[in-house]
Amino acid sequence: MGKRIMICPNGCHASFYTTAHVMQEWEVTQRGDFINVTNECLQTTHSPDFDNIWTCSKCGAEGHISRYP
């Protein structure tokens, strides 16, 4: 079984927009209420998943999974 890749159905060969989960550092009040983000990304806790929606950055189409050897 080959590796999976995401492709645009329109053949754009562009990058994609999808979600990942990251850990941020926040400044908070004494009760833990949000004030400000002080570090946008301390670490990635979950990388992009092929089960997510992947949107072509060029044409906006939803990507499709393909396999290659």
Percentages (nearest 5) of helix, strand, coil residues in the chain? 0, 50, 50
Instruction: Check whether 6 has a pLDDT greater than 80.
Output: yes
pTM: predicted TM-score of the whole model, two decimal places: 0.78
CB 59 within 8 A of CB 10: yes
Distance of alpha carbon 63 from alpha carbon 20, whole angstroms: 16
pLDDT at 1: 62
Taking residue 29's Cβ as centre, other Cβ atoms within 10 Å add up to 8
Query: Hey, what amino acid is at 43?
Result: Q
